[in-house]
Amino acid sequence: MPVTVLVTGANGFVGSHILEALQRRADIRIIAACRDHRKLPAGFKGEVRAGDLRDTRYLEELVQGVDVICHAAAWTALWGHARESRQLFLEPTLALIRAARAAGVKRFINTSTTSAAAPDASADAMSRGIPRRFWPHLCSVIEIENVLRDQASADFQVVNLRLGIFAGQRYALGVLPILVPRLKTHLVPWVAGGQTGLPIIDGRDVGEAFALAATASGLAACESFNIVGPEVPSVRQVITFLHDEFQLPKPHFGVPFFMAYPFAWLMEKIDPLVPWEPLITRSIIHLIEEVNANNDKARQLLGYVPRHDWRDAVRLQLSEMAERQTKPMAMARPI
């Protein structure tokens, strides 16, 4: 019999790519959970359960008859917004986990980030995340990971996917929409010479990873995987590509990490005094620290083999941004 897979956040970047990947599988019955069925990918043929995850009655009905949940619904912020992150992301997610367990859902696949781990431990996706007080949303992500880790069992399997930096069609909040307008100011420095890795992943590879995780057999009660693209470029490679292909300025000066964090802290502190968002934040600095993430475990246990080059993903995203992003993207939004 087909496996029934519920995809939350089906209108968003991650959720929409999951839907497209699942639709290629004949052994899966898909349910899309979203706010607006009109924003689902063209040609979607599965069931739609529209509503708000903060609605208790909707939540209880949503998880009925579901075998696997791919949880892609999120509200995110690259700095600050602690209250919104808790109310719009953390609390609804914890409620969804409770409802899923009560309804007998067999597997819960969680959207996380390679940035959740301490940089020196990030190669091991099972390592516990290290909260960053300066980034409340990342703290919410790590709290969800910990709750799932503690509640995983033979009857409620948990698969945690620590994803790289999003890029590609239907782009979401991430490094590129934040970086591009800031490069144009000529004020963004190289940090550590731009030598650290930036694990960009195309949305199509994200969707495929979830589809594999939804049906993989032989997994332990709790598994966590790093999911990145076929190659992890350095920050310098990415910015040089943006310069060569899109004529964006390169940084004119450089700073080490121990100077970048205090400078970003200062930008956050003066934010209430200026009419624009900070030029740089400590969360952005954290995102470009080395993560050493690779796909070895996901390849072995899920059969995950990413196929989409980071350059093609960036081209797709920049093409959309040229049409849709008429002003710098806000650093807090649904994804």
Residue indicated by tokens 């020196």: 120
Best CA proximity match to 162, nearest among 120, 126, 205, 204? 126
Q: Domains, the chain, ranges and CATH?
A: 3-166+201-229+292-308+330-334 (3.40.50.720)
- Give the pLDDT mean for 79-92: 94
pLDDT at 335: 54
Per-residue pLDDT band at 333 (split at 50, 70, 90): low
- Residue 334 clears pLDDT 70, i.e. is over it: no
pLDDT at 58: 96
Q: Residue 109: left (phi > 0), alpha (psi -120 to 50), or beta?
A: beta
38-47, 70-79, 197-206, 326-335: the lowest-pLDDT one: 326-335
Q: Over the chain, what is the mean pLDDT?
A: 93
What is the rounded CA–CA span in Å between residue 87 and residue 94? 11
pLDDT at 272: 84
170-174, 202-206, 210-214: the lowest-pLDDT one: 170-174
What is the rounded CA–CA span in Å between residue 241 and residue 73? 31
- Residue 85 clears pLDDT 60, i.e. is over it: yes
118-127, 240-249, 260-269, 305-314: the lowest-pLDDT one: 118-127
DSSP 8-state secondary structure symbol assigned to residue 333: E
pTM of the model: 0.94
Contact 198, 165 (CB under 8 A): yes
Strand 200-202 with 165-167, pairing = parallel
- Residue 247 clears pLDDT 70, i.e. is over it: yes
**Inter-residue long-range contacts of 244-253, CB under 8 Å, 24+ positions, other chains counted:** 245/315, 246/318, 248/180, 248/183, 248/184, 249/183, 249/184, 249/186, 250/183, 251/183, 251/188, 251/189, 251/190, 251/194, 252/186, 252/189, 253/189, 253/190
Alpha helices in the chain (DSSP H): 13-22, 56-62, 82-85, 91-103, 136-151, 175-183, 203-215, 235-246, 257-269, 282-287, 296-302, 310-324
Per-residue pLDDT band at 29 (split at 50, 70, 90): very high
pLDDT digits (tens, 9 = 90+) for 87-142: 999 999 999 999 999 999 999 999 999 999 988 888 999 999 998 999 999 999 99
- Give the pLDDT mean for 19-38: 93
Longest dimension (CA), the chain: 60
Per-residue pLDDT band at 172 (split at 50, 70, 90): low
- Give the pLDDT mean for 149-160: 97
